[in-house]
Structure 1
Amino acid sequence: MTDFTIPIEIARPAIIEFGGGLVSAAGRWARARGLSRTLVVSDAFNAARVGLLDLPGDVVVFGEVKPEPDLPNLQKVLALAEQVKPDLVIGFGGGSAMDLAKLVAVLPGSGQSFADVVGPEKVHGRKVALFQVPTTSGTGSEGGTRALITDPATQNKAAVQSRHMLADIAIVDPDLTLTVPPAVTAATGVDAMAHCVEAFTSKKSHPLMDLYALEGIRLVGRFLRRAVVDGNDREARAGLALASMYGGFCLGPVNTTAGHAVAYPLGTRHHIPHGHACALIFPYTLAFNAPVMAEKTELVLQALGLPASADEATVRDATHGFCAGLGIEMRLSALGVPKDDLEAMATEAHAIRRLLDNNPRDLSREQILAMYEAAY
């Protein structure tokens, strides 16, 4: 289960500021580094509170980040960046804003297009500073090197990974998440958990990452329900922010597995929020992998506060109950997914080899279809 001899490379932001009330550290660090021309990449809600960053000099805000950003959304913010020519790019929002910020920091003026950099380590370099300030607790994108963009033509997500997209500074202020509504808190919290669980049970799992992964799962088990019930619970919000960051740490060297591959078509084809999609799929993929990851599956359930088990039916029922108990709708039919699309979804998911090849148990297209049907 544990192989200490496997080589691994771990990259983290050089500076991580973590704690309530630290959002204005973005301005402090910008002044300290002599940065005075900033492009903030944000969604509409967070665009209205960019003043919290306390930034010096000229500040331009792109406040049109979409959930599950696509190529047109990326091209729009890249065009703005070409005009602004910032010396600092800040991702201020959820994972979508932070993913776009990574690409805005490396593509303008590089001579490279998005298509040129899809895949691992194809980015030539970066000339501007990059800060990340998350406002949700889910993706952990502030600590990672990946960006995901949906191609409308194929309805698939394209992934860029580059060490040049690692933030210089990540500022994690859990107080920024106090405004997140219960349904979004639940879904994003399950996304953080899924990152940790999938890394922990991956064929590529590593003791250095297991430490973060298991603790991230424990934090979700301890704090997610509390934050859903009382959004002003600052301790719970801080615990989830830490879980999210730990999950982001796991994505670089280990990455996700079947859970995310099977969840992706729900977002790209039917616009189900990513965390919600992960919750829908999580019980089925964890249960499917249980026979070959028995010890780790038991640890996952224990970390979530559930009775330890590696029995497939027990694992599925217990984790389904965990997600449903957060108020998450767990039926695809109730979310408007047409049943006649399940076949196409299974075909798409089965083609996401960059994730499925990490899964500890081979998963066929027919088995993916059976998961969708069980979730329907």
Structure 2
Amino acid sequence: MTLFAASRLPREILFGKGQRQVIPEVAAKHGRRAYVCTDERFAGTPAFAEMIASLRGASIEVLVYDKTLPDVPRDSVAVCVAEAKGFRPDMVIGIGGGSCLDMAKCTALLISHGGRLQDYYGEFKVPGPTLPVIAVPTTAGTGSEVTPVAVISDPERTLKVGISSPHLIAAVALCDPDLTLTCPTALTAIAGADALTHAIEAFTAARRGTDPTLPQKHVFVGKSALTDHFALLAIKLLGRSLERACRDGSDEDARADVMMGALAAGCAFGTAGTAAAHAVQYPVGALTHTPHGLGVATMLPYVMSYNLSAAATEIAEVGAALGVLDAGSGPRDTAAATIEAVARLFAAIGITRTLAELGLPADRIDWTAEQALGIDRLIKNNPRSLDIVAMRRLVKAAYDGDMAAAAM
């Protein structure tokens, strides 16, 4: 196969200690009226107060919406947009975790193009550019600051739904790892495991780059030379520092590694896409009401085991980035050791080991498999094909904690 690459990213990515201090200069490039989306918890912090004061000190008018909820309930976006109506913002600034950034994206979308949020579900439904979004993450996991996706919960649907469009990519991703220093240990672990899952699924995704029109037809196009670069960087940084950041939240170097890892993972999967671990998590999350990152990380070692026969070389490269030594006579042995290393890392930071422990009812295993198999944009990205028999076996293996059964 000849070299293929695709990547869609913000116009500007700023990363480093203290970067939040330049928010006024960054915002001024996009206008004088900023609508800020955050949540109630972060709105009450000194860091947030300082950022808002700095914007106003630079003669930028600010209106704050601080009622963002986890998983962005569909109808809450309409409320946020209604509050902005008389303000007429030039930009939307999302400050907070992934839900705050997704709220900012959805708000910019509806202010710019109107209609209902459900008009835009799926891929390439956004008709054109939106108000510029400045994304300022305070957690290190979702990568939403650089991706073309906003995920919301719709009360009329069992599973969460996504809006995927290059027009949703933030104009600026402004990442200051100091904003994660107060992130609780459990959230650090779940968000970081989510980022590592993004990176590994992007790197081991199917190669689909034979059709030159592929990026014009699909938002997620499988692995490529550029997404591989970002994914391996993310895996290296998260592998060396995620456990350290969970053990000592004040470790600035570890925090920087984990936030850069989440950013790089977003740069990878925002174009490559993710695969079976994410497909299974959608129905599992709907049934168990557990955090997204916890679900995908619980699934990842089982999905890697299932994919071993089709992606041993790529999984071995993941191992090299994690620091796993050559484990035998070829890539398959090293790949097997890599899966064990990922499972050990997740266990060390408190990730649930099985779907049973996550709370999935035994009588919903078949339903979970059926729903997961129906998420075509993720299933077609998996390096080993899946049918309903294989998916049921995979979900059952993850429920039982049977890694050998997952590899069959």
Q: Shared topology, TM-score over 0.5?
A: yes
Residues 1:326 and 2:349 are matched in the alignment: yes
How many Å separate the matches in 2 of 1:223 and 1:314?
A: 19
Residue 302 of structure 1 is aligned with which of 299, 320, 324?
320
> Contact between 1:283 and 1:315, CA under 8 Å: does it hold in 2?
no
Say if 1:202 and 1:257, in contact at 8 Å, map to a contact too: yes
The offset of 1:270, in angstroms, is 1.8
- Note if contact 1:82-1:109 (Cα within 8 Å) is conserved in structure 2: no
Q: Distance in 1 between matches of 2:235 and 2:261?
A: 7
- Cα deviation, residue 209, structure 1: 1.3
Q: 1:18 aligns with which of 15, 19, 40?
A: 15
CA change 1:19–1:277 in 2 (3 A) is same
User: Does residue 55 of the first structure (1) align with residue 52 of the second (2)?
Assistant: no
Q: 1:73 to 1:306 in 2, by over 3 A?
A: farther
- Runs (5+) with no aligned partner, structure 2: 207-221, 400-408
SS at match of 1:107: helix
| Cα contact 2:30–2:90 (8 A) shared by 1 | no
Deviation string, structure 1 residues 333-360 (Cα, Å, up to 9, x no partner) = 3333322222222111111111101111
- 1:367 maps to 390
Q: Do structure 1's residue 279 and structure 2's residue 275 form an aligned pair? A: no
Amino acid at match of 1:359: N
Give the residue type in structure 2 aligned to 1:130.
V
CA contact (8 A) 1:192 1:243 kept: yes
Asked if the contact 2:280–2:299 (Cα under 8 Å) also holds between the matched residues in 1, the reply is yes
**Which aligned pairs between 1:215-254 and structure 2 lie closer than 5 A?**
215-254=233-272
Alignment size in residue pairs:
372
1:77-136 CA distance string (max 9 Å, x none): 233233433222011111111112111112125233222222222212345331000111
The answer for unaligned runs of 5 or more in structure 1 is none
1:184 aligns to what? 187
1:20-75 per-position Cα deviation (integer Å, ceiling 9, x unaligned): 1111222222235442x222111222222332322224322222222222312323
For the 8 Å contact 1:68–1:267, the answer to whether it is kept is no
Identity of aligned residues (%): 37
DSSP 3-state at the match of 1:86: coil
Deviation at 1:255, TM superposition (A): 0.8
Measure, in 1, the Cα distance between the counterparts of 2:130 and 2:75. Answer: 24
1:154 is matched with 157
Q: Which moved more, 1:95-104 or 1:222-231?
A: 95-104
Cα gap change, 1:11/1:236 in structure 2, threshold over 3 Å: closer, same or farther? same
Which among 273, 286, 289 is matched to residue 255 of structure 1? 273
Q: Within 5 Å, which residues of 2 pair with 1:197-208?
A: 197-203=200-206, 204-208=222-226
Q: Which residue of structure 2 lines up, in the alignment, with residue 39 of structure 1?
A: 35
| Match status 1:103 vs 2:106 | yes
SS in 1 for 2:167: helix
| Aligned-partner Cα distance in 1 for 2:250–2:265 | 23
Mapping of 1:139-178 within 5 angstroms? 139-178=142-181
* TM-score, normalised with respect to structure 1: 0.92
Give the conservation status (yes or no) of the 8 Å contact 1:287–1:315: no
TM normalised by structure 2 equals 0.85
